[in-house]
Structure 1
Amino acid sequence: MAEQLVLSQKPRILVVGGGYAGLYVAKNLQAAAEAHGDIVTVLDPLPYMTYQPFLPEVASGSIEPRHAIVSHRQHLTKSELLQGSLTAVDHSRKVATAEIDGESVEIPYKQIVMTAGAITRTFPIPGLAETGIGMKAIEEAVGVRDGILDRIEAASTEQDPARRERLLTFVVVGGGFAGIETISEIEDMARAAVAKNPRVKREDLRFVLVEAMGRIMPEVAADQAEWVVEHLRSRGIEVLLNTSLADATDGRLQLISMPDKAPVQTFESDMLIWTAGVMANPVVRQTDFPVEERGRLQANAKLQIEGPDGVVADAWTAGDVAAVPDLSGGGVGGMCVPNAQHAVRQAKLLAKNLKAHMYGEGEVKEYHHVNLGAVAGFGLGKGVARIAVPKYGDVKLRGPIAWLAHRGYHGMAMPMFERKARVFGDWIAGGIFGRDITPIPDLDQPRALFERSANPKK
């Protein structure tokens, strides 16, 4: 019989989710908890936090995949780390249940922090689940990078014109920041790859961006969004607005116009990248906490979980999984939008509020933010930015200076100094030696070579 998992006997602050919000809550709270005889416990299926704004650059080979993630074990040295999935919360008993190594484990706590983040939002489109890939996890970004480079190489020796065209057609659905940065970065990488392959030309590649709305990137001004569309089209990227994906069965993509749903075009592709939004992690429905209509935990501005009957004692939340009021007045529906900027800021305040609530260090405060603007990179030397400058309003940038603003902001926003150093090192090396365009074909099948060696063909 397997031995049961031994948990710390100290009074526990349980942090569910180790992404942006969970990492910062634990990091900023663990020392104070230890000093008062408590322990911070982080429960997450993964042993790391992913800095998602860097995923497009991971997909394009500008950043080494491991440099875009932050190890819990390395940086949360005073926390108890549990790699598993939440299955239930009984807050009346203050007990959470998790599946860890296939076993159900009860985790008692005195305070709980729900920071389980968001997952990719999809729709019941035929074939999407079987053929698509997201851009929410580091594994997906690596898969996109190697997949594109593999397809370019395969197409370079493909004799069937239809099969070659399918291999060289790359589609991104979703015109928000993630979609625009993804298609820009992978086009930049593909351009570099075909420049070194005499059997494929840039004109052979087809990049298609599909967006159901009439504009892209709602986070920037309308004139900037229009410029981005012009920029993408000048690079040979097809931008299809007011267009939606209706079917993706077997890689045969059927596009329809919106909102009338008339057929637009049908073609085949082996690479369908889905970036059409996110939704709160459905794990919150495994709890007895109040959830609003969009699937997020109801919260007040102090980051306490709050329902119709008032504040839920000893329960807190932040980040993409939380419906936190936007006191600046700029949020959609009066709530903070799900992004990294809010998650990190809320997490830092939540840690302070917990220390104030539990240990009398200061006072519990409301979350109020000043929007810093938005920055986006479109490949080497290309970008757009809207930077909020106090007393002067928004400053709009585009081109190389916006690209530098993008790298500067996200380079500094990357958690932990050693991670920042690794990312800046990648950028410096890329500037000197060029983008790394070497695929690793069997990365998802690491035993393939051994199996071929052990079972040689007769």
Structure 2
Amino acid sequence: MPKILIVGGGYAGFYTAWKLEKWLRRGEAEVTIVDPLPYMTYQPFLPEVAAGSIEPRHAVVAQRRHLKKTNVVTAKVTRIDHASKVATITPEVGEPWEFDYDVVVVTGGAVSRTFPIPGVAENAIGLKSIEEAVAIRDRVLHNFDKAAALPAGPERQRLLTFTVVGGGFAGIEVFAELRSFASALLEYYPQISFEETHFHLIEAMGRIMPEVSLPTSHWVIKHLAQRGAEVHLDTQLTSAVDGKIELSTGESFESDLIVWTAGVMANPGIVRTSDLPVEERGRIKTRADLRVGDDETIVADAWAAGDISAVPDLTGGGVGGYCVPNAQHAVRQGKLLAKNIVAVLRGEDPKQYIHKNLGAVAGLGIGQGVFQSKGLAIKGLLAWFAHRGYHGLAMPSWERKFRVFTGWWNNFWLGRDIVELAAVQTPRAGFEAFASRPKPPVVEAAAPAEPAKAEKPAKAAKEPVAAK
């Protein structure tokens, strides 16, 4: 039976395995998926998770629950030797082992792309994982708790200043969601005024959200300004050492939370440890039919999809002629990839990936959103409903859809949960602080030796007194 190895359990990898389970006949192939995380993260929900609008566990999909016919391995693929069709799998605990496969599917996704700006690596946080979104939410709540107990001054201002770097869809959404979240928190913190909360978005280009029209992006900036959030265009971050933000415009301020959303890059842990061809931007060379290779060559039995691949955009709408790295493409590529693998196994020809972007939708906080489809732009409440409806229905499996919609319904009546669990990062701290510990063994001191008695000097013999 052919062995199919899927490297990466994100959108493309999860959907490839999910659809292979549906379309493969019994005994036609054996599918194994390897990913260091046991779940797929629905990344468009990360801004809402960061703002407390979605329960974190509802924004992820458990692989073992929904991939019932697939071998799920929670580990890293640290080497792909396609010439020998062998992959090295390294678990978190235990020794690495080699896995022989017949077909490899590389869907390892992307990671945050940063630049060597002083202080960013030490102080910023990305928005590519559910853990990062939860940490952002807890930091905002924790900062409000600390600031409420402080008098007005530099430290209080620093705690209530939040910065997002990057004006793409992810950056704008988390920026707007956090602004909405902070405004809602003021009801519970009467010690803090609206004017004390500061939000800065830094974008190196002259516009935000390139997926929408220029007038729509201008509306978003104006709308955010009305809500007390400042967007810095044509501005670069030059330093973030110790949380002090320094901009190319000369402006500087201190910020306790810095969220980095300025771009992604193909997962280097997979790309740099394989013998598959890579293009100049570090992505795996991929044909329009999702086989690895280019127009002239095909790497047999190797497929790729999602953010880690350079898939030609046959509609002509991609950046540089390739599909942009987003969930819209990754999900559809994963579905087609499964069909193409089955087709090739049965001696049929694979189909090319063609998807014309139908529009873009973004949430800007509770009750606010923006939708763009060609020349049609919808703003405000209706766009917000479109955003939630689209992404709620796009969430894989009815079980997950139900959890998301139920959470939104509960929040409508009960409001957002504002409990922060920052201490979960160090769950044993309280236990360790008061845990009884064995007393160190008492080393009995040796009995002191008795001091030697000094010998009394012998009495001198009395000399006879001489007779006078």
Which range, TM-score by smaller chain?
over 0.9
Q: Deviations over 1:139-193 (max 9, x none)?
A: 0000000000100110001136111111111000000011110011111111111
Q: Distance in 2 between matches of 1:410 and 1:111?
A: 32
Q: Distance in 2 between matches of 1:96 and 1:238?
A: 48
The equivalent of 1:279 in structure 2 is: 265
Instruction: Find out whether 1:197 has 2:189 as its counterpart.
Output: yes
- Counterpart residue identity of residue 129, structure 2: A
Instruction: Find out whether 1:306 has 2:287 as its counterpart.
Output: no
The equivalent of 1:167 in structure 2 is: 159
Q: In structure 1, which of residues 360, 365, 369 is the aligned counterpart of residue 351 of structure 2?
A: 365
The equivalences for 1:256-267 within 5 A come to: 256-257=248-249, 264-267=250-253
Give 1:39 deviation, angstroms. 1.1
Instruction: Find out whether 1:140 has 2:140 as its counterpart.
Output: no
| Larger Rg over CA atoms | 2
Q: Secondary structure at the match of 1:103?
A: coil
The equivalent of 1:209 in structure 2 is: 201
> Which shifted more, 81-90 or 444-453?
444-453
Instruction: Find out whether 1:245 has 2:231 as its counterpart.
Output: no
Identity %: 54
- Counterpart residue identity of residue 147, structure 1: R
The equivalent of 1:176 in structure 2 is: 168
Give 1:34 deviation, angstroms. 5.9
> Which shifted more, 82-91 or 401-410?
82-91
Q: In structure 2, which of residues 18, 31, 37 is the aligned counterpart of residue 27 of structure 1?
A: 18
Query: Contact conserved, 1:373 with 1:386, CA < 8 A, in 2?
Result: yes
Cα-Cα RMSD: 1.4
The equivalent of 1:445 in structure 2 is: 426
Give 1:38 deviation, angstroms. 2.1
Q: Distance in 2 between matches of 1:442 and 1:202?
A: 27
Q: Distance in 2 between matches of 1:47 and 1:441?
A: 23
Q: Secondary structure at the match of 1:215?
A: coil
Q: Distance in 2 between matches of 1:273 and 1:435?
A: 22
Query: Contact conserved, 1:195 with 1:201, CA < 8 A, in 2?
Result: no
Q: Distance in 1 between matches of 2:84 and 2:111?
A: 28
Query: Contact conserved, 1:58 with 1:145, CA < 8 A, in 2?
Result: yes
Q: Distance in 2 between matches of 1:270 and 1:400?
A: 31
The equivalent of 2:329 in structure 1 is: 342
Q: In structure 2, which of residues 84, 91, 94 is the aligned counterpart of residue 93 of structure 1?
A: 84
Query: Contact conserved, 1:319 with 1:347, CA < 8 A, in 2?
Result: yes
Query: Contact conserved, 1:112 with 1:315, CA < 8 A, in 2?
Result: yes
Query: Contact conserved, 2:317 with 2:356, CA < 8 A, in 1?
Result: no
Give 1:308 deviation, angstroms. 7.9
Q: Deviations over 1:303-353 (max 9, x none)?
A: 000058600000001111110110101111111000000001111011000
Structure 1 length as normaliser, TM-score?
A: 0.93
Query: Contact conserved, 2:287 with 2:294, CA < 8 A, in 1?
Result: no
Give 1:395 deviation, angstroms. 2.0
The equivalences for 1:371-450 within 5 A come to: 371-387=357-373, 393-450=374-431
Q: Distance in 2 between matches of 1:181 and 1:431?
A: 20
Q: Secondary structure at the match of 1:326?
A: coil
Q: Deviations over 1:389-445 (max 9, x none)?
A: xxxx54210000010110011111111111111110111111111111221130111
Instruction: Find out whether 1:323 has 2:310 as its counterpart.
Output: yes
Query: Contact conserved, 1:304 with 1:317, CA < 8 A, in 2?
Result: yes
Q: In structure 2, which of residues 42, 58, 62 is the aligned counterpart of residue 51 of structure 1?
A: 42
Query: Contact conserved, 1:33 with 1:39, CA < 8 A, in 2?
Result: no
Query: Contact conserved, 1:34 with 1:78, CA < 8 A, in 2?
Result: no
- Counterpart residue identity of residue 333, structure 2: Q
- Counterpart residue identity of residue 12, structure 1: K
The equivalent of 2:109 in structure 1 is: 117
Q: Distance in 1 between matches of 2:28 and 2:208?
A: 50
Query: Contact conserved, 1:172 with 1:179, CA < 8 A, in 2?
Result: yes
Which runs of no fewer than 5 residues in structure 1 stay unpaired?
1-9, 258-263, 388-392
Q: In structure 2, which of residues 269, 275, 282 is the aligned counterpart of residue 295 of structure 1?
A: 282
Q: In structure 2, which of residues 150, 165, 168 is the aligned counterpart of residue 158 of structure 1?
A: 150
- Counterpart residue identity of residue 437, structure 1: I
Query: Contact conserved, 1:216 with 1:225, CA < 8 A, in 2?
Result: yes
The equivalent of 2:52 in structure 1 is: 61
Give 1:76 deviation, angstroms. 0.6
Give 1:31 deviation, angstroms. 4.5
Query: Contact conserved, 1:15 with 1:43, CA < 8 A, in 2?
Result: yes
- Counterpart residue identity of residue 186, structure 2: V
Q: Distance in 2 between matches of 1:367 and 1:309?
A: 18
Q: Distance in 1 between matches of 2:185 and 2:433?
A: 29
Q: Distance in 2 between matches of 1:308 and 1:64?
A: 45
Which runs of no fewer than 5 residues in structure 2 stay unpaired?
438-468
The equivalent of 2:97 in structure 1 is: 105
Q: Distance in 2 between matches of 1:70 and 1:408?
A: 18
Q: Deviations over 1:239-270 (max 9, x none)?
A: 1101111111111111114xxxxxx2111111
Q: Secondary structure at the match of 2:98?
A: strand
Query: Contact conserved, 1:44 with 1:83, CA < 8 A, in 2?
Result: yes
**4+ runs deviating over 3 angstroms:** 31-34
Q: Secondary structure at the match of 2:320?
A: helix
Instruction: Find out whether 1:222 has 2:214 as its counterpart.
Output: yes
Structure 2 length as normaliser, TM-score?
A: 0.91
- Counterpart residue identity of residue 154, structure 1: K
The equivalent of 1:3 in structure 2 is: none
Q: Distance in 1 between matches of 2:414 and 2:239?
A: 41
Instruction: Find out whether 1:269 has 2:255 as its counterpart.
Output: yes
Give 1:36 deviation, angstroms. 2.8
Between Structure 1 and Structure 2, the one with more strand by share is 1
- Counterpart residue identity of residue 227, structure 2: R
> Which shifted more, 169-178 or 436-445?
436-445
